[in-house]
Amino acid sequence: MTDLSSPITAKNKFLIFGGGFSGDYFAKSIRKLGSIALASSRSISNEPNSFIFNSEDNSIPEDSIFEGVTHILSCIPPDKNGNDPVLKRLKNKIKNLSLTWVGYLSTTGVYGNTYGDWVYEKDQPNPLQERSQRRLNCEREWINSDLPIQIFRLPGIYGPGRSTLEAIKTKKIKVIDKENQVFSRIHVADIANAIIYLIQNKNNLDFHQIINVADDEPCSQIEVIRYAYQLLGLEMPKKILFEEAKKDLSPIAQSFWKENRRVSNKLLCEKLGYKLIYKNYKAGLNNCLIKIKS
Ligand SMILES: NC(=O)c1ccc[n+]([C@@H]2O[C@H](COP(=O)([O-])OP(=O)(O)OC[C@H]3O[C@@H](n4cnc5c(N)ncnc54)[C@H](OP(=O)(O)O)[C@@H]3O)[C@@H](O)[C@H]2O)c1
């Protein structure tokens, strides 16, 4: 059989818009493969692989940043008007590049509330929250951009340095119990690894423009919290019923509890053959524990 795989090599140059938690992890993973990966931030940084981009004050990267770019990943959320910050400021510039691939990190919030049912890429989006409507609008802007775009819909992102373990340590946690409520999640390493897998195998695999990236086991938040306390060797405080807890929750925290869905990864993991590094929160939290202990 002919090998059509397209390895990521030193000839590639990646621009990552939004070098936050996922963007920075992705950039580091790409550099390990020998490619250049520059990541944006809104403030000046001493990091040699970083560049400035801020859609709000019109800080646009200088021309040299775009020279030789082959791949782009955007990890920036929608602006307050529901426009995509990268397309709003840089669409014309980007369209003139010889790009092999463009990726956009979106959210599974676009599916809305399915009362605990599984959601698949083929399902019609049905955003419940205004922020998810804005997100859907950005997805559409990318799809209509004529760029070689692939969209990744993500549930709650966690990883070393940003997990339930840190939330317990910094006491930013409430043990809330809501019957039948589940959440889906993804370890940051699987976001980076799945995207790299799809880029490297893009000539071998059917192309799908929208892909969910989630782990195998959506479950209640309390299950995750209980396990995190166990890993830390601490006793979990008494749980609070959601109806009682909700009056003290911020509007944004309350909004997360209004949606209940299980995110399917069948397309990514069964059809396209990606093998998760962290199949569930237990495997993922054990990985995060290493950082806590170091
Ligand atoms: N966190 C989650 O659980 C979750 C779940 C699903 C989807 N998502 C989405 O997935 C993407 C990545 O998530 P993340 O948690 O890794 O993101 P993150 O750590 O919050 O990083 C966001 C990045 O976007 C940059 N940014 C924000 N507004 C900007 C603007 N107006 N102009 C230029 N840059 C701007 C930030 O710049 P600075 O570095 O200067 O701050 C940062 O680098 C985001 O779109 C997020 O909304 C997140």
Residue 60 has what pLDDT?
Answer: 95
Our count of domains for the chain comes to: 1
Residue 292 covered by a domain: no
Which residue's C-alpha comes closest to atom 36 of ligand 1? Answer: 18
∠ Cα 129 18 137 (to 5°): 35
Helical H segments across the chain, by residue range: 21-32, 63-66, 85-95, 130-143, 164-169, 188-200, 221-232, 242-245, 251-256, 266, 281-293
Maximum CA extent, the chain = 61
Q: What is the rounded (10 degree) CA torsion for 68, 74, 80, 83?
A: 60
Compute, in angstroms, the gap from residue 215 CA to the centroid of ligand 1. Answer: 20
∠ Cα 100 104 108 (to 5°): 145
Residue 7 has what pLDDT?
Answer: 83
Compute, in angstroms, the gap from residue 152 CA to the centroid of ligand 1. Answer: 14
Atom of ligand 1 nearest to the CA of 157: 3
Amino acid at 197: Y
How many helices and strands, by DSSP H and E, does the chain display? Answer: 11, 13
Which two three-digit tokens encode residue 20?
A: 């936050």
Give pTM, 2 decimals. 0.97
Q: How far apart are CA 266 and CA 135, in angstroms?
A: 23
Compute, in angstroms, the gap from residue 257 CA to the centroid of ligand 1. Answer: 21
Q: How far apart are CA 70 and CA 16, in angstroms?
A: 11
Domain that includes residue 137, residue range: 13-160+185-215+262-277
Residue 20 covered by a domain: yes
Residue of 15, 16, 22 with the most ligand 1 atoms within 8 Å of its CB, for mutation: 22
CATH number assigned to the domain comprising residue 66 = 3.40.50.720
Compute, in angstroms, the gap from residue 85 CA to the centroid of ligand 1. Answer: 11
Which two three-digit tokens encode residue 204?
A: 């071998």
DSSP symbol at 271? I
Which residue's C-alpha comes closest to atom 47 of ligand 1? Answer: 77
Q: How far apart are CA 214 and CA 194, in angstroms?
A: 10
Residue 2 has what pLDDT?
Answer: 54
Rounded to 5 degrees, what are φ and ψ at 62? -75, 160
Q: 146: Cβ–Cβ under 8 A, 6 or more apart, which residues?
A: 95
The b-or-e profile of 140-179 (16+ CB within 10 A means b, else e) is ebbeebebebbbbbbbbbbbbebbbbbebeeeebbbbbbe
Residue 102 covered by a domain: yes
Compute, in angstroms, the gap from residue 82 CA to the centroid of ligand 1. Answer: 14
Is the CB of residue 61 below 6 angstroms from any atom belonging to ligand 1?
Answer: no
Amino acid at 76: I
Residue 174 covered by a domain: no
Q: How far apart are CA 190 and CA 78, in angstroms?
A: 23
Q: Which residue has the tokens 């290493």?
A: 290
Residues of the chain under the 70 pLDDT cut:
1-4
Amino acid at 172: K
Residue 135 covered by a domain: yes
